[in-house]
Amino acid sequence: MGSRASTLLREEEIEEIKKETGFSHSQITRLYSRFTSLDKGENGTLREDQVNFRGFMRTLAHFRPVEDNEKNKNPPTTEPLNSRTNKLLFAFRLYDLDRDDKISRDELLQVLRMMVGVNISDEQLGSIADRTIQEADQNGDNCISFQEFMKVLEKVDVEQKMSIRFLH
Amino acid sequence: MPSRTGARSSRSRPELGLLLLGMFVLLGGSLVPLGAASSADAAGGSTGKDAECNKTKTEHNITKKAFPVLSLEYGHVKVPFEISLWVLLASLMKLGFHLIPRLSGIVPESCLLISVGLLVGLLIKLAGEDVPPVLDSKLFFLCLLPPIILDAGYFLPIRPFMENLGTILMFAVVGTLWNAFFVGGLLFAACQIPQAGLSDVGILPCLLFGSIISAVDPVAVLAVFEEIHINELLHILVFGESLLNDAVTVVLYHLFEEFSLVGSVTVLDGFLGVISFLVVALGGVLVGAIYGFLASFTSRFTSHTRVIEPLFVFVYSYMAYLSAEVFHLSGIMALIACGAVMRPYVEANISHKSHTTIKYFLKMWSSVSETLIFIFLGVATVDGKHKWNWTFVTSTVILCLVARVIGVVSLTFVINKFRIVKLTTKDQFIIAYGGLRGAIAFSLGYLLDCRHFPRDMFLTAIITVIFFTVFVQGMTIKPLVDLLAVKKKQEAKRSINEEIHTQFLDHLLTGIEDICGHYGHHHWKDKLNRFNKKYVKKFLIVGERSKEPQLIAFYHKMEMKHAIQMVESGSRLPSAMPSTVSMQNIQPKIPPALPKPAERALPQLRKGREEEIRKILRSNLQRTRQRLHSYNRHTLVADPFEDGLNEFLLKKQKMIELDKKIKEMTTYLTVPAAAADSPTMSRARLASGRHTDFIPAHQQKGKPSDPQSYHVRPTADGVPSIQVDLASPDSPDSVKLLDEFRQAEKQEQDEDQGLMMRPPSSGPNKPGGKDEAKEQQKLMRCLSDPGPGADEDEDEDEPFLP
């Protein structure tokens, strides 16, 4: 399995992914083998979403732990994918289904409904959603923008919560 | 317990405190000889009574003397009297310290208490009496230690604890082992120095001593760390370590004690020791968990006898501790496991008042215990027969420090490879510096057999180390924390946003872990949660609440707290309350395009009614404190109103702006004019005749004099109205809307006090009746707890909230 995986993944590609996402070589090969095992149809993409391996890695890169020593090296020109802002942006985009850079009440309701299950009534969820928006909303547009989202979560240790250990 | 009056008091109270202290000490000191004298009589008297009954009635020529109008007999109350005196002394000391303005900021309480103990011991000694053996090991381990540990375990913040469990275990197990062997071994080497005169101390007693002295003490850590308000991670690391190293200490202690008598240790014994460690630790946790489940299960049935709910919590926990001690398992771990396991289920089952009772009792007991422990440490220091050996003592102190530093640094190096958020040097320093020793070490040393071990020398060294760590490290840790700019604890409360997003991220991370095929932390947590939800909760939690998602429970708590804040601050903007107060939206008929959700949730009442309702609430509600972060004894007493009020004022301002915007909405809302009518009028109305305005809702039940039921007459103009009825004790949840309320109505067979505010379920009120005014369904649970007597409720409640 391992050898088959590495032949399908060219070295230049690995280098590119490494630069883009910050994963190490072994991590990339390991994740590639995982990707291929998930990719049942063997057409290089995952299911309906048509995520290719690059997209897969890009998404996963958000969950790399934040490293302190990145300050020592010359600072990267673009912000690394696993910085706090980018992690929060990823989470924000999951809420924001219509990609208008705002979490509206309905989008929030959908997420709440999924989290909470079927026992709770709509009105109750509605009031929770209302309160959530009211707490976070600062400019009064009744939606949560990304800035407001970041502000609300400033006390939460996102670096730890949104990271998983990719074993070498 | 910081006293609120301390800061504001202009008079200085140190003289008063010292005077009281002196009085009590002298009183205690003078009563001891009295006790000694009359106890002899008492002892003689009791056996004499039996003998007398057996005698024949031949000797009845007792001379008649005058009937004693006032007599003194101290013997038979001696022990309880002295115990109470000690407890009183401890509490007064605590009180006194916080009245002295700046002292509590500089010196940690533990230091002050030890000093007081020293003083008391000196005074008793000067009075010529024997110092009572106060830090008797039995007393310590059976009475003084359990409340502190239970308090810690019940309020243990599970989430950070579990997230850092690996690190904590490493520090607790490996760190303590390293400390014990390092200190023990090098002490033995030090003992071999010819000038020390200690060459008769063998290797095994040294190792035993090392194992006693190496354990970080939870009592001392709690006492010091709670005052410095350090960030949660460091707090849980050091504190968790101090709790979990008990297993290691128990095993090592018994191992070395057994083998010192024999004189040698084989490899087999070492191997058995390892197995024993696993048994002790896991067995303790298992025993605790079993009792925890028993307690949860019992609490499921307590809906009719709310008054004794706290008792179950305490007794089951204590039984867990004692049962573990029977088998020489780790009692501390049993207690922690019991508290942590039972807490989520018990809290879902018991009434709000019981919860408050449990919290306050635990805090009170643990506070008194801790105070007593430190005072007794001081007293025992004065009393003990000390054998000071310069080499031994100084080398102990130095070795302890060195061992701790080396241990922490090397362990962190290993641990950081596995952690996501690495421990910085600052963190390491605080962890090493926070390794305080305390009374457990002393008591363990006290238990030693003085024939086989140089007990006095050991005790002296232990006391020196304790004093050093508590005084030097305890006093300097606060300025060091400030100097190093270590992150402090974040005081702010958790918002609903944080809760939602944190849960969301949990789900997200579980999914990602699944994708990566990585069976990590979140995966197992998710599995445990599912198992919990599917099987355990149904079994252990009564009624509807077993299905309540955590988010909803959190929301309930928040809403209730907010409502109570609103009431207590005397809202002047009844129209502009945020959408907190109702769990359901009031007007489902309102077109969904309504942009301001806050107003939608508002009940609109006549001002008079509203004032009256506010008075009802004020007289019957209890304050809820933040339930989430209450494991710190010091935050318990902090007034929540300060922060709550500011927050509320900010919201008020927001609402004023919003209020302007809703003027156009006249379809259903009648925005009342500005200020409410004079509160005195409505108060008078309320106080004079509670029946004048309100119709008791249960006249047909034959309780017309029940002051607790109010009934607001529905008004004809569609203004929503409230009907307040007696609460039913077991309708804690009302997730569904009116259906639940109709059900709740059916459940009102029990007579008890409390308020339940729910909309009238009758038809004509229905359109306006869905509002809950300012009340939450959770209040039903809150208020459903009957007082000690049904009719005494009037005396019980004060007219205004305290």
As a whole number, mean pLDDT of residues A69-89 equals 64
pLDDT (0 to 100) of residue B741: 42
CA distance linking residue B655 with residue B665, whole number of Å? 15
Q: What is the pLDDT of residues B531-584, one digit of tens each?
A: 888 887 777 777 666 666 777 777 777 777 778 888 887 754 443 344 444 444
Walk me through the domains of chain B, giving residue ranges and CATH numbers: 137-369+380-485 (1.20.1530.20), 497-563 (no CATH)
The whole-number average pLDDT for the span B477-494 is 78
Q: What is the 3-state secondary structure (H, E, C) of B464-501?
A: HHHHHHHHHHHHHHHHHHHHCCCCECCCCCCCHHHHHH
Token pair for residue B420? Answer: 């996501």
B603 chain-A contacts, CB cut-off 8 A: none
pLDDT band at B24 (very low <50, low <70, confident <90, very high): low
Tens of pLDDT, residues A119-144: 778 888 888 888 888 888 888 888 88
pLDDT of residue B320: 94
> Using an 8 Å Cβ cutoff, are B760 and B773 in contact?
no
Considering only the beta carbons, identify the residue of B501, B515, B552 that sits closest to A156. Answer: B501
Are A38 and A105 members of one domain?
A: no
Q: What is the dihedral of CA B352, B358, B364, B368, to 10 degrees?
A: 180
Q: Is B582 on the interface with A (CB under 8 A)?
A: yes
Residues 318-357 of B with CB under 8 A from A: none
SS3 at position A121:
coil
ipTM: 0.84
Residue A45 located in a structural domain: yes
pLDDT of residue B728: 41
Touching check for B554 and chain A: CB below 8 Å? no
Q: Is B455 a residue whose pLDDT tops 60? A: yes
Is position A121 within any domain?
yes
Whether residues A156 and B502 touch (CB distance < 8 A) is answered with yes
- Considering the domain boundaries, does residue A77 fall inside one? no
Provide the domain limits for residue A21. 2-61
Smallest CA–CA separation between B577 and chain A, in Å? 11
Residues 468-507 of B with CB under 8 A from A: 490, 492, 495-498, 500-507
| Whether residue A97 sits in one domain with residue A154 | yes
Closest chain B residue by Cα to residue A141? B595
- Residues of chain B with Cβ-Cβ distance to A159 below 8 Å are 420-421
Residue B262 has pLDDT above 80, yes or no: no
Of the candidates B99, B147, B633, B109, the one whose C-alpha atom is nearest the C-alpha of residue B378 is B109
pLDDT digits (tens, 9 = 90+) for B322-356: 999 898 888 899 999 999 998 888 888 888 888 88
Look at B552 and A38 and tell me if their CB atoms are within 8 Å: no
In the predicted model, what is the mean pLDDT of chain B? 70
pLDDT digits (tens, 9 = 90+) for B521-535: 777 788 888 888 888
The answer to whether the CB atoms of B421 and A157 lie below 8 A apart is yes
Same domain flag for A96 and A143: yes
Residue A152: the pLDDT is: 81
Q: Which residues of B touch A162 (CB under 8 A)?
A: 505, 508-509
On whether both A45 and A99 belong to a single domain, the answer is no
Backbone angles phi, psi at A109, to 5 degrees: -60, -40
Same domain, A88 and A155: yes
Q: Which residues of A fall within a CB distance of 8 Å from B735? A: 119-121, 124
Does residue A164 fall inside a structural domain? no
For the record, the structure tokens of A168 come out as 């070498």
Q: Quick check: is A13 in a domain?
A: yes
| Highest mean pLDDT, choosing among A9-18, B476-485, B651-660 | B476-485
Q: Tell whether A37 and A90 lie within a shared domain.
A: no
Residue contact A166–B503, C-beta within 8 A: no
Q: Do residue A112 and residue A154 come from a single domain?
A: yes
Read off the pLDDT band of A46 (50, 70, 90).
low
The CATH code of the domain that includes A148 is: 1.10.238.10
What is the SS3 assignment for B758-795?
Answer: ECCCCHHHCCCCCCCCCCCCHHHHHHCCCCCCHHHHHH
Residue A145, H or E segment: strand A144-145
pLDDT at position B404 is 92
- Could you tell me the sign of the dihedral formed by the alpha carbons of B73, B76, B78, B81, in that order? negative
Task: Say what the pLDDT of residue B535 is.
Answer: 80
Number of domains in chain A: 2
Q: pLDDT higher for B640 or B381?
A: B381
Look at B196-200, B417-421, B501-505, B776-780 and tell me which has the smallest mean pLDDT. B776-780
Least confident of B227-236, B365-374, B716-725: B716-725
- Which residue, among B762, B744, B563, B601, has the nearest Cα to A124 in the 3D structure? B601
- Decide if B495 and A135 are in contact by the 8 Å CB cutoff: yes
Segment A97-111 mean pLDDT: 83
In a shared domain, residues A122 and A89: yes
Q: Which residues contact B483 (CB under 8 A, 6 or more apart)?
A: none
pLDDT band at A109 (very low <50, low <70, confident <90, very high): confident
Dist. CA A36–CA A54, nearest whole Å: 13
Alpha helices in B214-231 (DSSP H): 218-228
Q: Is B522 on the interface with A (CB under 8 A)?
A: yes
Amino acid at B320: A
Three-state secondary structure string covering B363-389: HHHHHHHHHHHHHHHHHHHHHCCCCCC
Same domain, yes or no: A109 and A145? yes
CB contact under 8 A, B420 and A160: yes
Distance of CA A11 to the CA centre of its chain: 26
A88 and A57 housed in the same domain:
no
CA distance B235 to B228: 10
The answer to whether residues A92 and A154 belong to one domain is yes
Locate B287 and state its tokens: 């025993």
Element (H, E) at A45: strand A45-46
CB contact under 8 A, A160 and B421: yes
Both A96 and A36 in one domain: the answer is no
Gap between the Cα atoms of B511 and A115, Å rounded: 13
Give mean pLDDT, residues B369-384.
85
The residues, any chain, with a CB within 8 Å of residue A122's CB and separated by 6 or more, are none
* A23 belongs to a structural domain: yes
For residue B113, give the 3-state DSSP assignment.
helix
For B646-705, write each residue's pLDDT tens digit.
565 666 667 766 766 665 554 444 444 444 444 444 444 444 444 444 444 444 443 344
Say if A69 falls within a structural domain. no
Name the closest residue on chain A to residue B489, using Cα atoms.
A155
Judged against a pLDDT cut of 70, whether residue A104 lies above it is answered with yes
Q: Is pLDDT larger for residue A13 or for residue A46?
A: A13
Within-domain flag for A32: yes
